[in-house]
Amino acid sequence: MPVWGSPEPFERQSAAPLGFRNVRLIDPSTGRDEIGGLLATGGVIADVGPHLTWGPFPDGTEVIDGGGCVLAPGLVDMRVFTGEPGYEHRETIATASRAAAAGGVTTMVCMPDTEPAIDDVALVDYVQRLARDTAIVRVRPMAALTKGLAGVEMTEIGLLSQAGAVAFTNGRKALTSARLMRRALTYARDFGALIVHHVEDPDLAGDGVMNEGETAARLGLRGIPAEAETIMLSRDLQLVGLSGGRYHAAQLSAAASLDHLRRARAQGLPVTAGVSINNLTLNEIDVGAYRTFFKLSPPLRSEDDRRALVAAVAEGLIDVIVSSHDPQDVETKRHPFAECEDGAIGLETLLAAALRLYHSGDVTLLRLIDALSSRPAAILGLDAGSLEPGHPADLVFFDPNLPWVVDATLLSSRSKNTAFENARLQGRVLRTVVAGRTVYDYAGG
């Protein structure tokens, strides 16, 4: 029976010594992939390497024999929607953090799509205080790029950055005004801030509800063309060229987007990109008999698109994999496919689903952890994503081969709208550690 830790401040001095021995160390920040051990004291990593494969550790250390399972930096999830404040019936920061811990996520970055939207200093401070008091993993807020997410008036990027916002986004909504996006990128550049954008032209997407193509036609559903993404992305990248601002495409779904991204990289533009685990492991066929848990934004695309995205992750063109955790309650999902809300939860299944790419031989384990931990930490400027001594002891310990079947009723999220319901996954988080303290133990009971 799994057990979770309780919310406590993550002061580094508070944690007792914790040692892992006989583990496969995976650290993308250094390229490390070897058998060894790790010692954490005072909440930070004190030592790591093959010389600790069998210890010794200081007296009083809690020692875990890993049996050859993987120890890696804790995951950093750049796209997590919570319902707090405003939609607590869907998810709270507390319940989301328990799901995160069970999924090996040690830092979750919350979107500003709440009620009210996180668009001023007081609300950023509120989220941080709420997380401090109720969450068992680290919680970092993204702030709204425009007031009320209305896409009309820009927020105070400088003040919000000082208050703790790690990036700026319009959340689920794209910013349609090119003039405003240019201003935002220019203004953000002066503060070194990052703009994260949902690249989907709402006019072109129209009332589409899934990928445009043969499957949508067969199901009698309106489609969203890939061009809704590529046109918006192309516009944004040209604006980055004009402004020099740092830009991150939140979730790419179409193979054609990769050509735009590749050209921008070749030009040296400060551009990064992410992809949802849903678009890496599922495709439009999964919609099947109008299954509403597969109604997502961006939509699930074709198998060719999915394969192209996987290859882009493997080569590093796409930097980051996110859960796109978006809890929806029964009332918003129990509708005909075309009328229900977009979104699915994903924190707890993120790593296990991503391991499908490793088991299929498409992505190495080192690159996979890089996309789930080290790269998002680097893009956001967080002190995370590394096993090197001196870094916070934020760790995920997992068995990459342990099979399990997803039972939605047993997931920790308050909402149960998972796209992986009854899926057979291979790989399970055994322990999650934040600041040297265990916050989730799969076998803790």
For the chain, the three-class secondary structure string (H helix, E strand, C coil) is CCEECCCCCCCHHHCCCEEEEEEEEEECCCCEEEEEEEEEECCEEEEEEHHHECECCCCCCEEEECCCCEEEECEEEEEECCCCCCCCCCCCHHHHHHHHHHCCEEEEEECCCCCCCCCCHHHHHHHHHHHHHHCCCEEEECEECEHHHCCCCECCHHHHHHHCCCCEECCCCCCCCHHHHHHHHHHHHHHCCEEEECCCCHHHHCCCCEECCHHHHHHCCCEECCHHHHHHHHHHHHHHHHHCCEEEECCCCCHHHHHHHHHHHHCCCCEEEEEEHHHHHCCHHHHCCCCHHHCCCCCCCCHHHHHHHHHHHHHCCCCEEECCECCCCHHHHCCCCCCCCCCEECCCCHHHHHHHHHHCCCCCHHHHHHHHHHHHHHHHCCCCCCCCCCCECCEEEEEEEEEEECCHHHCCCCCCCECCCCCEEEEEEEEEEECCEEEEECCCC
Mean pLDDT, residues 138-161 taken together: 97
Name the CATH topology of 9-71+393-441. Urease, subunit C; domain 1 (2.30.40)
Mean pLDDT, residues 159-172 taken together: 97
pLDDT tier at 8, thresholds 50, 70, 90: confident
Whether the per-residue pLDDT at 13 is higher than 80: the answer is: no
Q: Name the more confident of 157 and 289.
A: 157
Task: For the chain, give the mean pLDDT.
Answer: 96
Model pLDDT for residues 303-334, shown as the tens digit of each residue: 999 999 999 999 999 999 999 999 998 888 88
Domains 9-71+393-441 and 74-385 share a fold: no
Mean pLDDT, residues 47-54 taken together: 96
- In the prediction, which pLDDT does 7 show? 86
> Is 36 within 8 Å of 27 (Cβ atoms)?
no
pTM: 0.97
Mean pLDDT, residues 36-44 taken together: 96
Model pLDDT for residues 267-280, shown as the tens digit of each residue: 999 999 999 999 99
Whether the per-residue pLDDT at 445 is higher than 80: the answer is: no
Whether the per-residue pLDDT at 422 is higher than 80: the answer is: yes
Q: How far is CA 113 from CA 142, 165, 291, 326, 346, in A?
A: 10, 14, 25, 10, 17
Whether the per-residue pLDDT at 12 is higher than 60: the answer is: no
* Per-residue burial over 204-238, b = 16 or more CB atoms within 10 Å of its CB, e = otherwise: bbeebbbbbbebbeebebebbbbebbbbbbbbbbe
Domain boundaries, the chain: 9-71+393-441, 74-385
CATH 3.40.50.150 describes domain 74-385: no
Whether the per-residue pLDDT at 192 is higher than 80: the answer is: yes
Model pLDDT for residues 354-405, shown as the tens digit of each residue: 999 999 999 999 999 999 999 999 999 999 999 999 999 999 999 999 999 9
